[in-house]
Amino acid sequence: MNMQPIFFITGIGTGVGKTLAASILTEALRADYWKPVQAGFAEGTDTETLQSLISNPVSVFHPEMYRLPMPASPHIAARNAAVTIDLDAIADKAKQLAQTTGTRPLLIEGAGGLLVPLTEQQLIADLVEKIGAQLIIVSRNYLGSINHSLLTAAYCKNRGLPVAGWIFTDQYLDYENEIVELSGYPSLGRIPFMGNINADTVLEQANLLIQSGIRQRLSIHE
């Protein structure tokens, strides 16, 4: 059996709907989910959020490697907790988890965007490179998102990071076509503005992605 791919969800910034996209993709792909670094959890963790939103009985939610109380950039939250985030250890764990998923891909959620520091010298992008994951970039439609999206795309190309495609969220002016054309990365789907987010609405959006053929486009084999 071939090992299923590892996907790493990142965003063009903070607050673009990365965790919502992760929940819908986890449901659509029947994937396992892992958020290795959680900074701030007074109102719950992203893993707990996904567990409350996923309906399928097969996805596994792996515990965080680092749970940092301070809601800040991971390197600051780690410093505040007197710990050092070890990117090699995270990458090794990711590869171990990917070997145990069977027919399920592994979906890893990052923190913010690719240039968010995990240590004083290392970024989210460095972790993606160490894992060898394919990036799924979440872009939310807002004034300025074309620029922010294309900056992220340019950085990926400069670093040689493999990008599976974009997930677009929200509905402000619908910039998807321009971003796809100018970046050269395909759209994997869009998530409309969702005023009510629950397991039913996540399943509804996941089914739309399945109908669009997302499993085939991401080379998810049965």
Asked if 109 and 33 touch (Cβ cutoff 8 Å), the reply is yes
From 18, 35, 93, 157, the catalytic residue? 35
Contacts 24+ apart (CB under 8 A), 44-47: 46/19, 46/22, 46/109
Examine the residue annotation and report whether 130 is marked as an active-site residue of this protein. Answer: no
98/104 Cα distance (integer angstroms):
9
Would you please indicate which residues are annotated as catalytic (active-site) residues?
35
